[in-house]
Amino acid sequence: MSDATAVGGGIGVAPYAELTFDADGDVDPGTQDAVSALEATDLLVFAHGWNSDRSTSTRLFDRFYAPFPGLVGPGVRLGYVGVVWPSIRFSDEPIPDFDPHGALAEPGHGTALDPATLRALGEFWPGRVAELDRVAELLEERPESPAAFTEFGALVRELAGVDGVDAVDGVDAADGVDAADGVDAVDAFGAAGAVGAAAAPPAVPAVPAIFAEDVLEVCRALTEGLAEAGGPPGGAAGPAFSLGGGLRALWSGAKELLRQATYYQMKKRAGVVGECGLGPVLAELAGRRPALRIHLIGHSFGARVVSFSLRAVPDGARYVKSATLLQGAFSHYSFADRLPHDKSSGGALRGMQRKVDGPVVACHSPYDSALKVFYPLASRMAGDSAGLLGLDERWGAIGHDGVQAVSGAPRLTLDAALRAGVPQAGCVSVDTGSVVRRGGPPSGAHSDICHEELARLVVAAGRMGR
């Protein structure tokens, strides 16, 4: 890797470096050295989310970091880090204020995979060209045939690695899921991962229901979810999308099932990168530079990355000074000591807020359709046999309604948080819907995070202001 790549050319703030990890959480040594060389009193460490390729991530870091130099006090020397990890972007999903990325599918035919997305899928699932070409063919042709849906479902299962029971055992080791809690661990966006005091793997490995149930019923449920979210991307809403349009209409749900397969793998990857990659790298850095103050920032799955990095913070260490979670794509119960529906279990990150010498700020917005609609839908589809719809609070995302079931965690509006500040420690939920509100279907405002108000919130959480 060249020095130019390591430091991340094109970023308007300085000093800046990118910290790059592979899917197993192994860090690129050159990028680790570049981060170690940053001269700063306070290090901002920002992990991107799921809907990112390399160029999109770099632009996101540039846009989000832009306001910071003018917000901090004179005694603060900021260093900026962009955490880059293997993600994937469906380029037909809009990101507010960013230039269009790739060609959108034709209006009225939004199930087709555009070339940029197909290339990204090929990189995400290397060696699967034949399977992906057939998936793309089916999504473009949309045959009105149950057999075609069956074939599509089998292809997606194979791509997701759930054809063999060893591939998915109902327990994510990174989450430590209690078998009795079911399948919080295997939702599309990264669910609670409820941890029991005596958690044990299920006796019989199980494939998540989203991949195991009748594919037509799954596609129908996902199509209904798209309708609730305002229609699929690419302008496919309309008569062809009507639920009365026969089997042809359900190919919108089939495309969403393909997205869920990528989310399913990225969810697990985010936990691994955080706990096994980012966390140890930051611990080593803090050991060599004990005066350095580290501030974690994560968007979507990136919020999961930085949150799981807290598992690698040594007991008693105080180098992480704040954590700001932007539209976090994991369970709102993750930090809970006890789950409301299972008092014997707690969240995957229970007590981890105490690893932060400052607040853990969970930003949430009611305009985030990805977390409002698809997160709970996919969570229940992962293993709730009571039905695919009829969502309830058990399956909520922290980026939709904030931290839940954590005693003493206040809930603030963005205006109140900026005016009066946030608590000096513990979890706090901040409703950022006053600014995080723009974006088209199916994700809504999920990626609408580049606002000075959110930068000011990070500064307030880290006690870095003027």
3-state secondary structure 190-233: CCCCCEECCCCCCCCCCCCHHHHCCHHHHHHHHHHHHHHCCCCC
pLDDT, mean over the chain: 81
Can you tell me the distance from the alpha carbon of 182 to that of 174, in angstroms, rounded to the nearest whole number? 15
Can you tell me the distance from the alpha carbon of 332 to that of 405, in angstroms, rounded to the nearest whole number? 8
Rounded to two decimals, the pTM is 0.81
Segment 403-408 mean pLDDT: 95
Whole-number pLDDT of residue 396: 83
Q: CB of 377 within 8 A of CB of 221? A: yes
**How many contiguous H segments (helices) and E segments (strands) does the chain have?**
16, 10
Under the banding of pLDDT at 50, 70 and 90, the label for residue 372 is confident
Whole-number pLDDT of residue 384: 39
The string of DSSP codes covering 299-328 is: ETHHHHHHHHHGGGSPTT---EEEEEEES-
User: Which tokens is 299 given?
Assistant: 């968007």
| C-alpha dihedral, 146 to 150 to 156 to 162, nearest 10° | 150
pLDDT at 268 over 80: yes
pLDDT digits (tens, 9 = 90+) for 168-202: 333 232 233 322 222 333 333 333 333 333 333 33
Q: CB of 85 within 8 A of CB of 21? A: yes
Lowest mean pLDDT among 55-59, 85-89, 108-112, 234-238: 234-238
Can you tell me the distance from the alpha carbon of 312 to that of 408, in angstroms, rounded to the nearest whole number? 25
Q: Partners of 428 in the beta sheet? A: 361
| C-alpha dihedral, 268 to 161 to 170 to 195, nearest 10° | -10
pLDDT at 84 over 70: yes
Lowest mean pLDDT among 238-242, 261-265, 377-381, 400-404: 238-242
Nearest to 282 by CA among 24, 25, 4: 25
User: Which tokens is 339 given?
Assistant: 């789950």
pLDDT at 232 over 70: no
pLDDT at 328 over 90: yes
Contacts for 420 with CB less than 8 Å, ≥ 6 apart: none
Phi, psi torsion values for 27, nearest 5 degrees: -85, 145
pLDDT at 342 over 60: yes
Task: Compare 152 and 55 and report the one with higher pLDDT.
Answer: 152
